[in-house]
Structures are given as C-alpha cells and as structure tokens.
Amino acid sequence: MNLVDDKTIVRQYFNSTGFDRWQRIYGDGKVNKVQLDIRTGHQKTVDTVIEWLQADGNLRGLSVCDAGCGVGSLSIPLAEAGAIVCASDISEKMVAEAYDRSTAVPGKLYNISFAAQDLEALTGKFHTVICLDVLIHYPQNKAAEMIAHLSSIAQSRLILSFAPKTVALTALKKFGELFPGPSKTTRAYQHREADVIKILESNGFVINRTAMTSTNFYYSRLLEAVRK
C-alpha cells in the first residue's frame, strides 16, 4: 500500500462515515463510553499543547500551522489566544466544520484561515508547526517523508503526536482487530518513539518537551522539537 492509497483512504473516510463519527467525538454532545474516553484523551493532548505555548509567553502574534486540524479543537483556541493560525486538513468536511465552529466564537476571528489540502501540499514558513493525531493513519515508512515536509516549513518548532508502539499497545490493537464492524476507524499505525526522534533529529531538531496521554482507548505520545 503506497502513500497515495493511504491518503485516499483517509480522505474518503473523513469525508463520509468517519466525519460523522469524529464530529460527534470532538463535539460536546452525547456519545458512548468509548467515544467519550477518546474525546477526553484527545482534549488532554490539545490542552497540553496550549499549556506549552502559553507558558512560553509569546503566543500572541505567533505564526502557527495546524496540520490536520480536524474540527478546529486546537486551531480555534490558539486563534482566540492571539496566534496567527493557518489550519488545514485533508478532509473537506472537517475543514468546513472547523470553519463553522470558528464563526460561532463570540467576536470574529480574523487571525485564522482554513484550507482543505493534504499535509505534503502545505507551503510557507511558520514559527510553529503542529500535527496532532495524524501519523496514526500512515505507516512508519511514510512518516519520515511527512515529518520531513513539516520540518521544512517549521522555522523554530515542530510539535507531533502519535500512537507509540509498545508491546502492550500492540497486543491491545491486535485484540481490537478481532472485532471488525462499522465503528472501526481507518487503519491505525503505531510508531516507535526512537524512530520518530531519529527522523526529527535528521531534519535539524532536538526534543525539548514530551508528554503522554493515556486513557482506556486513547494513547498519544507528544513531542515538542526545536531547531538546533
């Protein structure tokens, strides 16, 4: 399976059944226990990133690229905090939902823009590039290409999250694959943290901060890498 096929699968999924499912998960409406657990985990990851950026004390006016913005869970609060945000997603439906949610914020946000495009089509330069929960949809051999491109548009910092590859989580993933059904998402890929760090280092970055979010059904390793 090549990268084009992976991208097609992800785009089609998040423009169809996947959109309906994840729109509910990333919203505030009633969901089942598994979806609520995932919502809670994802929000913890988003909150950690916001805390990191706020702690630096320079968020207002900071140029940020949110690659794989989904419904705007991170992009919108960053824009509300004064960052200049370029938000994009491979799914047209996700981008449209993110835009609608941004217009519902009291007071118009003039410092956020949205685009429907895949990660490797992103251009420009940004102080900070953020890519949360996207690598889970792509295999390890393609992660290097995607991270390299994100590195090329990040002037100072790149923040990534991914599903870590461990013995326990691999076993849990295999167990889950025994129960196929309409609620299954796209193929979920795990990545070895050491491999991701090596890719970042090869593109001129060093790790500055790390965090881990673990719930019953959501596992995400968060890395902040800064230019050497």
Q: Any idea which residue has 């439906």 for tokens?
A: 93
pLDDT at position 152: 98
pTM above 0.75, yes or no: yes
How sure is the predictor about 74, in pLDDT bands with cuts at 50, 70 and 90? very high
How sure is the predictor about 9, in pLDDT bands with cuts at 50, 70 and 90? confident
Which has the closest alpha carbon to 119: 93, 152, 96, 141? 152
Given a cut of 70, whether residue 29 has pLDDT beyond it is yes
Q: How far apart are CA 118 and CA 2, in angstroms?
A: 15
pLDDT at position 170: 46
Given a cut of 60, whether residue 181 has pLDDT beyond it is no
**Which of the two residues, 142 and 220, has the higher pLDDT score?**
220
Residue 170 to residues 116, 166, 198, Cα–Cα distance (Å): 32, 6, 21
Which has the closest alpha carbon to 49: 160, 142, 146? 160
How sure is the predictor about 3, in pLDDT bands with cuts at 50, 70 and 90? low
pLDDT at position 178: 39
pLDDT at position 186: 52
**Which of the two residues, 107 and 60, has the higher pLDDT score?**
60
Burial tier of 7 (Cβ tally within 10 Å: 0-12, 13-18, 19+): middle
Looking at 57-204, which runs of residues are DSSP E strands?
Answer: 63-67, 84-89, 112-116, 126-131, 154-162
Q: What is the mean pLDDT of the chain?
A: 89
How sure is the predictor about 179, in pLDDT bands with cuts at 50, 70 and 90? very low
Which has the closest alpha carbon to 157: 205, 221, 125? 205
Looking at the chain, which runs of residues are DSSP E strands?
Answer: 63-67, 84-89, 112-116, 126-131, 154-162, 205-214, 219-227
pLDDT at position 166: 66
